[in-house]
Structure 1
Amino acid sequence: MNEFLLIFRRDNSKEAQPSPAELQASIKPWQEWLGKLEADGVLVSHGNRLRPEGAVIKPGKIVTDGPYADIKESIGGFIVVKAEDLNAATEMGKGCPVLNAPWNGSVEVRMLIREE
């Protein structure tokens, strides 16, 4: 069984921000989807959401604030799942609530390489 990182991306523009009511309504689908992955025994790590502020370290050890407000798309969170292959992990990602309103985001699926 391989491990895959599912990265949740969404539109970061002010126009695309959900209302408080939409945020509240979006909690249940996330809980149901993550609960199913956990019940199926494929959820390895629940990465949770990421706060909007952070830092970016560039060559020369230059540190800047980030991610930048003018970037349209941002990473909102991630999880690690177990799957036989990329296709199986991608199928899991298709159930992610970030793909639906109010988020209308995307899921990036990447296989993790474990150095032994």
Structure 2
Amino acid sequence: MMRAIAFLAVTLATPGMAADQFDLVCVSKTQTVRYRVDLAKGEACSDSCDRVWKMGEATTGELRLIDKRPDYRGDLEERSVVSRQSGEWHYDMSMSGSSSSRDGKCDPAPFSGFPAAKF
């Protein structure tokens, strides 16, 4: 009986937990980026996930994935804003006084996880 209750609790909790963790595959005319997102932790990373960062605001309407690196080659900041309804994606990058941007579309994908922590 206890096993059945424990199994049921885990099974019912899984969909809610899965909604908080997902990948976004974002495609523009010139680039494809895969973001790994954990809404519960407020963390994200991109592509090979060399670095996990605190993401920006997440609302029902949009996600803001903001990566600021003031010590990297002249104050690098990358900003992605994704509509959670349409999947529309806007990306801006600024560094050392120059900037670039692109627009595209994002689709959700299964969460591929963050790299294992050493400590």
Is the TM-score greater than 0.5? Answer: no
After TM superposition, the score normalised by the length of structure 1 is 0.28
Larger gyration radius, structure 1 or structure 2? 2
After TM superposition, the score normalised by the length of structure 2 is 0.28
The structure with the greater share of residues assigned to strand is 2
